[in-house]
Structure 1
Amino acid sequence: MSANLTDPCSVLIVDDMEENLIAFEAVLSPLHQHLVRARSGEQALKAMLRQEFAVVLLDVRMPGMDGFETAANIKRLDQTKDVPIILVTGTESGSDYAYRGYAIGAADFIAKPIDPWVLRTKVNVFLDLHRKNRQLAMRAVAGDGDRLTEINERLARIELLLRRRPGTDTAGLADRIAEVERAVGALLPGHPGTE
């Protein structure tokens, strides 16, 4: 978790029409986030495998792989399944669009023509959730490190007690304790191989 919580998040915008991509970028630019374009479902999936996104804006009507199929593929992959998707629909879409979208895991919908304030507000909610999730993950890692350090200290105290005990096989004990210390040490943050 090397990312700073104040760093801009990435937002993926998926639409096959250049003018729509430009419009989304204009509306979202005041949020000061990293906006990434994809002009097809295939491009969107490739982008999602290359980097982490806080939210995806996904047009439903695209040639080839449409928005529903793209969303279903995003939700199938372990690496991307938790990324929220806002489906962008035309005004002619009916309740079957909402049913299909929610059934495949879409988090929200927005209809064209886009209200800039509503779009920014919805995206901002998911950006805040993404930041909070990163913060919780960083706290969990720090908490695990504290717990492992405490375990390592207790092991050292147990080793001292056992070494002082009469009749203890100190050579065998030292080998076993060294094994446990290496295993616990390998789990500590900052230890080579844990990053």
Structure 2
Amino acid sequence: MTTHATEKCNILIVDDIEENLIALEALLGPLGQKLVRAHSGEEALKAMLRQDFAVVLLDVLMPGMDGFETAANIKRLDQTKDVPVILLTGAEVEADYAYRGYSIGVADFLTKPFDPWLLRTKVSIFLDLYRKNRQLASQAEQLRRLFAEAGTATAPKALAGATEDEATPESLEDRPPSPETAPRATPAWPEERLAEIGEQLAQVELLLRDTKGSETPNLANRVAELERAVGSLLLRPE
């Protein structure tokens, strides 16, 4: 049910200059993730519609669709709007860059030349958030299965062990079942257990819906708490 921390994530790097892409690959290589290149905003959008990405590193100054326009299109599409975008800018930036970027919904800015440690630290934060969100999605799916199982749970046939010749309607009315032939009902899900499952599912879905960028400092603790709760719910009542 959990997502392994060693799972490789996709990182999209977008720059129209080949040398910059090579430099980014060298700086991000120690993270051990899958790096996907895009040489333009249009190419970046196509890549994001084909596969999932944990984070996008997007150069601002590109011919045609620049970084701001590309980021705006990413945030406009339902399939890609929740993917964090880090804008890459030159040393000399215009005064309104920060306002334009944050108003679009970008997660962060990095200024060239990059500090290798800072670059990897920022990207690692978004990789961790991506993995935590996948854990929460897996937990939500597990809880939905528990609800479905609870809704379809039924008791077995009324009398176990009676043959067709012995168990006629008349004889069953007149004769109480013996301990050997008494029905053994499958344990039902108590109302308290169903309510607990429902509450956990609501918490998971709310947290998934509200998780944006780096605004969840306590996400790891919440995931651990929900994992313990879901684990206990998986134990069927005796």
- Corresponding residue for 1:42? 42
* 1-structure distance, mates of 2:44, 2:135: 26
Alpha-carbon shift at residue 143 of structure 1 (Å): 1.1
Deviations 1:7-36 (A, max 9, x none): 200000000001100000000000000000
Contact 1:5 1:134 in 2 (8 A): no
- Corresponding residue for 1:76? 76
Alpha-carbon shift at residue 151 of structure 1 (Å): 1.2
Contact 1:5 1:135 in 2 (8 A): no
- Structure 1 segment 110-149 matched on structure 2, within 5 A: 110-149=110-149
Alpha-carbon shift at residue 148 of structure 1 (Å): 1.2
- Structure 1 segment 1-195 matched on structure 2, within 5 A: 6-153=6-153, 156-157=154-155
Return structure 1 stretches of 4+ with deviation > 3 angstroms.
Answer: 3-6
Percent identity of paired positions between Structure 1 and Structure 2: 67
For residue 100 of structure 1, give the secondary structure of its aligned residue in structure 2.
Answer: helix
Alpha-carbon shift at residue 95 of structure 1 (Å): 3.3
* 2-structure distance, mates of 1:118, 1:88: 13
For residue 82 of structure 2, give the secondary structure of its aligned residue in structure 1.
Answer: coil
For residue 95 of structure 1, give the secondary structure of its aligned residue in structure 2.
Answer: coil
Contact 1:60 1:87 in 2 (8 A): yes
Which has the larger share of helix? 1
* 2-structure distance, mates of 1:4, 1:142: 17
Deviations 1:80-133 (A, max 9, x none): 000000000111113300000001110000001111110000000000000000
Deviations 1:142-175 (A, max 9, x none): 111112101111xx24x97xxxxxxxxxxxxxxx
* 2-structure distance, mates of 1:47, 1:78: 15
Partner amino acid, structure 1, of 2:10: S
* 1-structure distance, mates of 2:6, 2:120: 18
For residue 96 of structure 2, give the secondary structure of its aligned residue in structure 1.
Answer: helix
Distance 1:121 1:70, change over 3 A: same
* 2-structure distance, mates of 1:73, 1:23: 26
* 1-structure distance, mates of 2:6, 2:141: 18
Alpha-carbon shift at residue 5 of structure 1 (Å): 5.6
- TM-score, normalisation: structure 1: 0.77
For residue 122 of structure 2, give the secondary structure of its aligned residue in structure 1.
Answer: helix
* 2-structure distance, mates of 1:61, 1:25: 19
Uncovered stretches (5+) of structure 2, i.e. residues with no partner: 159-238
Aligned length: 158
- TM-score, normalisation: structure 2: 0.63
Larger Rg: 2
For residue 128 of structure 1, give the secondary structure of its aligned residue in structure 2.
Answer: helix
Q: CA RMSD in A?
A: 2.0
* 2-structure distance, mates of 1:151, 1:4: 31
* 1-structure distance, mates of 2:5, 2:37: 23
For residue 114 of structure 2, give the secondary structure of its aligned residue in structure 1.
Answer: coil
